[in-house]
Chains A and B, each alone.
Chain A
């Protein structure tokens, strides 16, 4: 089945130690998104790629970076994780940008713990 895969499902890192989260998709979608979801809160969009075009949200901290080496893969890099970065990180894809016409497909998420 076509799907969105996130690895690892659980990640533990130390305060200030860089960490990379991975997302892959078999849907061949053009758009990939990264969301941060803290406990009992709504998902918050960090950034998205439309093909190779990177779109950062204005309030996303510089500590968060992303790479998309090809259509299938997208990475979230947290350069110096702080305790406040502990959250569930969700990757999503959509076929194209189309005014909400394109459904976003979500992966299962990576839960990040910062010690």
Chain B
């Protein structure tokens, strides 16, 4: 079955520290991969996406993610976290099909940033 796993429910880091949020997927083929961020009480904003090509993807707000096919992973990274990065982060996969845009979301990782 298709699924997305975000193993870390809650992560706490100090401002200025580096960050890595983990995402693993289970899919029959290489899916399209996304990271979204959700601030409290807000909708989801796309940080970055991977479709093909270079496995290191740059996104907004200084985030990047690396696709590793052998590990079925798409981990999100940021070298130096800012207090404004505190939010919920969702990894999502989309099928490599032209009939649907259905996204499957992971359960999210809540990021807390200490000054």
| Residue positions of A touching B, CB distance < 8 A | 4, 6, 31, 40-45, 48, 90, 92, 94, 97-109, 111
Contact = CB atoms under 8 A, between A and B. Distances in A.
Interface string B35-59: 0100001111110010100000000
Interface string B3-40: 00000000000000000000000000001101010000
Question: Interface on chain A toward B: helix, strand, loop, or mixed SS?
Answer: loop
B43 A97 contact: no
A98 B43 contact: no
Question: Interface on chain B toward A: helix, strand, loop, or mixed SS?
Answer: loop
Contact of B95 (A6, A42, A99, A104): A99
B100 interface: yes
Contacts of A103: 46, 49
Nearest to A103: B46
A100 B95 contact: yes
A105 B99 CA distance: 19
A97 B100 contact: yes
Contacts of A111: 41
A42 B32 contact: no
Nearest to B93: A100
Interface of B: 31-32, 34, 36, 41-46, 49, 51, 90, 93-103, 105-108, 110
B105 A97 contact: no
A114 B96 CA distance: 38
Contacts of B101: 31, 48, 94, 97-100, 102, 104
Contacts of B102: 45, 48
Nearest to A88: B41
Given A99-B95, A99-B96, A100-B101, A108 B90 contact: no
A85 to B, nearest CB: 19
Given A40-B107, A100-B94, A103-B46, 16 more contacts: A6-B43, A42-B105, A43-B44, A90-B44, A92-B43, A92-B44, A97-B101, A99-B96, A99-B99, A100-B96, A100-B103, A101-B32, A103-B49, A104-B46, A108-B41, A109-B42
